[in-house]
Chain A
Amino acid sequence: MNHFPEAWGRPRDDVYGAYNPLYLQTTGPKAHTQSPAVTGTSVVAVKFNGGVAIAADNLASYGSLARFTDVKRLRKFGESAIVGFSGDVSDMQYIDRLLESIDIRENYSTNGNTLNAKNLHTYLSKVLYKRRSEFNPLWNHILVAGFDEDKKPFLSSADLLGTTFSAPHLATGFGAHLAIPILRRLFPEETPLESISKDEAVAALRECIKVLWYRDARSLDKYSLAVVTEAGIEIQEDQQVEAQSWAFAEAIKGYGAQVN
């Protein structure tokens, strides 16, 4: 006990170390999200004749901890659009609530929900851009799959800065490095969409997810796969990476048979 009543009951710095007062700060600039917390890794997607296929694993990581292993990162919108999320999971859930309310509002109109995937992508990119401009970003990189107003397959991306782009195949996060080269080799950009079948597209995505599972430390072998066609959305949320080959590990020092 000493003669400083305000210090009574406080942990002593020389015993416990100084408390980092950063977290108690009441002055200074308002702190928005500076970094994501619970995150999802890559989303991969590819267009094919008559639709779009999209896949993402079911993992939500907390840093390097595989925290939640049954998280659905592909979300349906209406009857013909899918949004794939990577990045912060709480922000994903917020955006999902936004989409839900829009879908409900749209369905009140006499003609039903007429927002297609392209309209949805425009909207989401505006939301992301607005939030980045407020220095309060939604920490996501999303892919939107579905159809445009001409009923042609549509696939486009938007990130936390509001940057948008579209291509016959897209991938977020680690997938941009690992999956895109595979997809570009399988389906070169100049090949007409008509020559890519649904089965080929789905097989390619499964292959990409497998490669990501091999090399992305924040990935999982359980994944979701959705296919959007004129007929509607088929979504499978309990897929398993199969027929893995760890033969490559043999050649790696300290990994397989080679110890030294």
Chain B
Amino acid sequence: MTTLSGQPLSEAIGYSFSNANSAPHREHSFYPYTDNGGSTLGITGSDFAILAGDTRSVAGYNINSRYVPKVFKIGGDDETGDGAHIVLSVVGFAADGQALKERLDAVVKMYKYQHGKPMSVRACAQRLSTILYQKRFFPYYVHAILAGLDEEGKGALYSYDPVGSYEREQCRAAGSAASLIMPFLDNQVNFKNQYIPGSGEGHALEPKKAEPLPRETVEQLVRDAFTSAVERHIEVGDGLQMMVITRSGVEEIYYPLKKD
């Protein structure tokens, strides 16, 4: 026979409080993250960069709202966004994304205040990486993409993982439909698996060389990528928000997507 505490009766002292300090650790049942879904996408050209994202916000199978932007102007006027030359997109946990965007915005504004000149995209990209890495052990749960024009006026795009590892790229898709969009981009922007017809047989077949695309083509690619993603991913839809960064500023375009 055993006692309730599991020890044989003969050996049990059998009084409570005897092992009060060896209690099992209670699990933290509060989980500080959620996934708000959605997808973002960025492509650069020779004199522009485009960052886009859908505007749906979800919680599980619920649609929170059909218009919650994921793409933000950084360093511009608070109300109108005028004067901004850098754009950030964040996808993942929306509250972290919002906090990250506001921190970067404050950094860029303080930079301008202290140095009297706008922050370069390269500097901003490096700073964003350090901001993310500072929270290495309680990360901002977002995939960020930063876009602007570099010192030579060429489109610049930087993509990040949640802890600040980053890289400059020609194009990048992030978020829940990234795995659907990225292969499409590989093929259509970097011409992966495209060859010049009749250039040879087998290994001699010459791959089609990637070169910067014109703005109209890129805009159409972005629209196609999202209309396709909407068909195959439940968390993507409602609206497409596009920011086009050129020498003359940042242009915002809204394009409705299917709401189903």
In the complex, which of the residues A12, A125, A162, A180 contacts B15, with contact meaning CB atoms closer than 8 Å? A12
- Number of residues from A at the complex interface, CB < 8 A: 45
Q: Give the distance in Å from the alpha carbon of A25 to the alpha carbon of B17 in the complex.
A: 10
| A161/B15 in contact, CB under 8 A | no
| B18/A165 in contact, CB under 8 A | no
Q: Give the distance in Å from the alpha carbon of A161 to the alpha carbon of B59 in the complex.
A: 12
Looking at the assembled complex, report how far the CB atom of B93 sits from the nearest CB atom of chain A, in whole angstroms. Answer: 8
| A133/B138 in contact, CB under 8 A | yes
Assuming the A-B contacts A13-B14, A13-B15, are A164 and B67 also in contact, with contact meaning beta carbons closer than 8 angstroms in the complex?
no
Neighbouring A residues of B21 by C-beta, 8 Å: 21, 25-27
A34 in the interface (beta carbon within 8 A): yes
B19 in the interface (beta carbon within 8 A): yes
In the complex, which of the residues B12, B17, B29 contacts A24, with contact meaning CB atoms closer than 8 Å? B17
Q: Give the distance in Å from the alpha carbon of A74 to the alpha carbon of B134 in the complex.
A: 39
Neighbouring A residues of B24 by C-beta, 8 Å: 22
| B23/A167 in contact, CB under 8 A | no
Tell me which of B30-38, B103-111, B121-129 binds A: B30-38
Question: What residue in chain A is nearest B60 (Cβ atoms)?
Answer: A176
Assuming the A-B contacts A13-B16, A21-B16, are A163 and B95 also in contact, with contact meaning beta carbons closer than 8 angstroms in the complex?
yes
| A14/B12 in contact, CB under 8 A | yes
Neighbouring B residues of A28 by C-beta, 8 Å: 23, 25-26
Assuming the A-B contacts A14-B14, A28-B25, A166-B65, are A135 and B95 also in contact, with contact meaning beta carbons closer than 8 angstroms in the complex?
no
| A135/B28 in contact, CB under 8 A | yes
Q: Give the distance in Å from the alpha carbon of A65 to the alpha carbon of B5 in the complex.
A: 32
Tell me the chain B residues, 64-120 only, with Cβ under 8 Å from chain A. Answer: 64-68, 93-95, 98-99
B3 in the interface (beta carbon within 8 A): yes
Q: Give the distance in Å from the alpha carbon of A165 to the alpha carbon of B9 in the complex.
A: 60
B57 in the interface (beta carbon within 8 A): yes
Q: Convert A159-190 into 0s and 1s, putting 1 for each residue whose CB lies closer than 8 angstroms to a CB of B.
A: 00111111100100000110010000000010
Neighbouring A residues of B259 by C-beta, 8 Å: 189
Binding site for B on A (CB under 8 A): 2, 4, 6-7, 10-14, 16-19, 21-22, 24-29, 31-35, 125, 129, 132-133, 135, 137, 157, 161-167, 170, 176-177, 180, 189
